[in-house]
Chains A and B, each alone.
Chain A
Amino acid sequence: MVKNEELINIMTEDLKRALKKPADKRVWVMAIDIKKCIGCHACTTGCMSENLTPPGIQYRPVRESEIGTFPNIALKFLPRPCMQCENPPCVKVCPVKATYKREDGITIIDYNKCVGCRYCLVACPYGARSSDVGAYYTGKFKKATYEVESSQEYGKEWARRNHFCSPVGNARKCHFCIHRIEKGVLPRCVETCLSNATYFGDLSDPDSLVAKAVAKTNTFKYKELLGTKPRVIYIT
């Protein structure tokens, strides 16, 4: 069996190779092998610490469902990051163009423009967006230091000091950790996955691990019939 570090090293090399290509030639995808997922929520926790998300906001929750009838039952897990749709409903509905697709296909939010109307939350069929309502783990008056530390999302410093400091009041979502991938580092959820269930890379590169993983096996895309063309592929 391939060790976690080896997979990470392979995907990191794939990532560095992809970064040498022009942005519009990269096809970032995330593949999640749901047979391997053990529902440990390490990805959820890793993401929360990476992006310093407040209470109620998880960019990558994991759905647990029980299938079968007793005694023949099993637990199934479905991690759900932002699907980074090729045809994202959230982009069309944003009245101020605060959310848009980058050249490399990742949909991002410009916290400086977002008015907090939450129309994108209503429109997203995956429930992948959250509203930062300004909640804190340690209460609204006496905040712990880690609560107001700056997150590095989108390559900038975002300190949630009060409700006039973005991203408080804005919509928030998974962005495939673009602040990391632009530096040649894999998204945090990929690194923290205990069971090697998450792959990340450039699908247009046939030598990449993610392209090979997707090509070999049965796959599906979540709510594909909606025509959103997700870039998160589930391996079954």
Chain B
Amino acid sequence: MTLLNMNLPDIADIKKVVTDILKGKGGLALNLSIIGIIMGIYALSRLLIEGHGAVTNTSSLVPWGVQISTYVYMVLLSTGCTFINFFGYMFYRKEYEMFGTRILFVGIFIAFAGMGALATELGRMDKMIYFLLSPQPKSPMWWMSVWYSIYVTLKLVELVNHKRGKHSDKLLWITFIVAIITYSNLGSVFGIVEQRAYYFGPLLPIYFLMLGFLTGAALSTIIASAHFYKSDTEFQNHVRPFRNSLRIGLGIAIVATFWRLVAGMYAQAEGYEIFKLTFMHTFFFELLFALAIPLVVSYFSTCQRCMIVICSFILITQFKIRTDLIVGGFKIPVFKAYSIPDIVSYMPSHVEFFVVIGAISAATFIYVFADKIGFFEGEEHIHG
């Protein structure tokens, strides 16, 4: 079907997939993501009916919880997809272009899902209009909303271009630069907060970009690996750019994490004891288990299934690391009164978990659904 010069799936194909889903024959991924979406809707209903405070475990001591870390994780994943899309077209066009539309598509909808998770964390969602009516240009959070809107719009334009059988290197460059601005800006939301030692510093915006690249590389590798290949040679040839990006991503994430840890361990100022408090976790879990081991394994195991397992492992561990980073900023309270513990702990409520599951499931559902209706067919050879 053609609409506004875009090559879109036929209505009959969409009806067939919808019918299959209604009959329960949509496949494991679709069925699981539907369950996840239902859980998300349940969580959203509880949030709207009972209020944020009644169903979440965030508090004045831990003002940002797992919903914010989900947002950060998902938008960094989206940035990573943009980076992979850019580097793929720049350096590996021949092998990469068959995946271009998929990576672009998934980057957009992950960003939307992340934004949904963020919206549920606001105490008063109904007042979001004030981002437009009463802007504060001094606030990194306000700039985040501006750049985020520009970024998503550019990605959508790029997708429309792809569906029209076109590809523009100029647009690719602009989106790449806007992605860097947008997500380093997200890092600055945390990095400018002087009193939160775990966040503060110029490294954080750069650290965010590096981790974004890693997760984007991991997700793109899964998408590329899950494709059908006639032989292992064909698989190895097509997955090469993704595998290389993944190894580079793991390498730079190790360097960034290591120096962030070292700088934090040397600091003596108030609040920096958080680095000593979390040293074992950062060193053994983040550096060795979640980054070094996948890097080593990715050199020795390059089969299709191995790549999917390694990348899934990276995505899961990075989610945990992102949550630890966000919550870690609040572990040591800035003011200790009789009722405030020395070290603050936080465990998300089931509603918060359901929001996370809902956001991830929504993005998964849209991608798998688009794949099943043939949204990506005929996009294998888009030339600039």
Contacts and interface: CB of A to CB of B under 8 A. Distances in A.
A134 B56 CA distance: 11
Minimum-distance CB pairs A-B, first 4: A116-B123, A133-B53, A163-B51, A169-B123
Q: Secondary structure at chain B's binding surface: helix, strand, loop or mixed?
A: loop
Contacts of B64: 118, 122
Interface in A83-137: 89, 92-98, 112-119, 121-135
A95 to B, nearest CB: 4
Interface in A21-60: 56-58
Contacts of A164: 51, 126
Interface stretch (B81-89, B109-117, B278-286, B329-337): B329-337
B95 to A, nearest CB: 42
A123 B195 contact: yes
Contacts of A166: 124
Interface in B48-74: 50-54, 56, 58-60, 63-64
Interface stretch (A61-69, A187-195, A205-213): A61-69
A91 to B, nearest CB: 8
Contacts of A119: 139, 141, 189
B123 A118 contact: yes
A173 to B, nearest CB: 10
A174 to B, nearest CB: 13
Nearest to A61: B337
Contact of A115 (B128, B189, B192): B128
A56 B123 contact: no
A172 to B, nearest CB: 9
Contact of B53 (A94, A96, A134): A134
A122 B196 contact: yes
A198 interface: no
A55 to B, nearest CB: 10
B130 A168 contact: no
Contacts of A62: 337-338
Interface of A: 56-58, 61-64, 80, 89, 92-98, 112-119, 121-135, 140, 162-164, 166, 168-171, 226
Given A63-B337, A127-B60, 14 more contacts: A56-B59, A89-B193, A95-B136, A96-B136, A97-B130, A113-B130, A114-B127, A118-B64, A118-B123, A122-B64, A122-B193, A132-B53, A133-B56, A163-B53
B60 A140 contact: no
Interface string B251-264: 00000000000000
B201 interface: no
Contacts of B139: 92-95, 119
Contacts of B194: 89, 125, 226
B229 interface: no
B141 A95 contact: yes
B115 to A, nearest CB: 13
A56 B53 CA distance: 11
A61 B339 contact: yes
B141 A133 contact: no
Contacts, number: 159
Contact of B195 (A64, A112, A125): A125
Contact of A96 (B142, B195, B329, B336): B142
B325 to A, nearest CB: 13
B335 A133 contact: no
Contacts of B189: 119
Contacts of B56: 133
A57 B64 CA distance: 17
B131 interface: yes
Nearest to B337: A61
B134 A113 contact: yes
Contacts of A92: 136, 138-139
Interface in B226-283: none
A115 B134 CA distance: 11
A125 B193 CA distance: 9
Contact of A135 (B53, B141, B193, B195): B53
A95 B53 contact: no
A133 B123 contact: yes
A56 B192 CA distance: 27
B145 interface: yes
A96 B136 CA distance: 5
A126 B51 contact: no
B140 interface: yes
B378 interface: no
Contact of A163 (B52, B127, B333): B52
